[in-house]
Amino acid sequence: MPDTALQIDRTMLPRSLGGALTRGISGKCPRCGGTHLFRKLLKPVDRCRMCGQNWSIQTADDFPPYIAILLTGHLMAPVIILLGLSPAVPEWAMMLIVVTLAASLIAAILQPAKGGVIALQWWLGLQGFAGHAGKAEAGVS
């Protein structure tokens, strides 16, 4: 599969890393922002249907789960402390609440984290995007 994407109007490209990250985190194509980046929960589309960008060359690997675990841990810490200090909450209920909340948070954060990592790789021209950095295409140094 060739790595070349379709030529698009430069105004469709994000103007900054923040713009690319916003598109990726929201599940949109970081390059054109016009369509979905994922075809399944954590499986990106092979190519963007609008701009033709090849997303099969991304290598987010384990970074999105690290982000999800880090954020979940920081969000859950105060909840765990409050539940632990409350004598009215039995241990079994605390475990049920903590496990359910933690699993839900991780599931909710994983796709946005992966979209953000893919956008970061594309913008900076990392891994499979080497030589095709988004910031170079957008004319941002």
Cα separation, 34 vs 7, in Å, equals 14
The whole-angstrom separation of Cα 8 and Cα 83 is 52
* Contact range with Zn ion by CB under 5 A, out of 37-45, 48-56, 86-94, 123-131: 48-56
Q: What is the size of the binding site for Zn ion (CB under 5 A)?
A: 7
Query: Least separation, in Å, of the C-beta of 55 and Zn ion?
Result: 9
Helices (H), ranges, the chain: 17-25, 63-85, 91-124, 134-137
Look up residue 136 and give its two tokens: 């170079």
What is the smallest separation between the CB atom of 122 and Zn ion, expressed in angstroms? 10
Residue 36: strand pairing partners? 28
According to the binding rule CB under 5 A, does residue 23 interact with Zn ion?
no
Secondary structure letter of residue 54 according to DSSP:
B
Within residues 57-96, the interface with Zn ion by CB under 5 A covers none
Shortest gap between Cβ of 39 and Zn ion (angstroms)? 13
Judged by CB under 5 A, does residue 51 bind Zn ion?
Answer: yes
Q: Tell me if 21 contacts Zn ion by CB under 5 A.
A: no
Binding site for Zn ion (CB under 5 A): 29, 31-32, 48, 50-51, 53
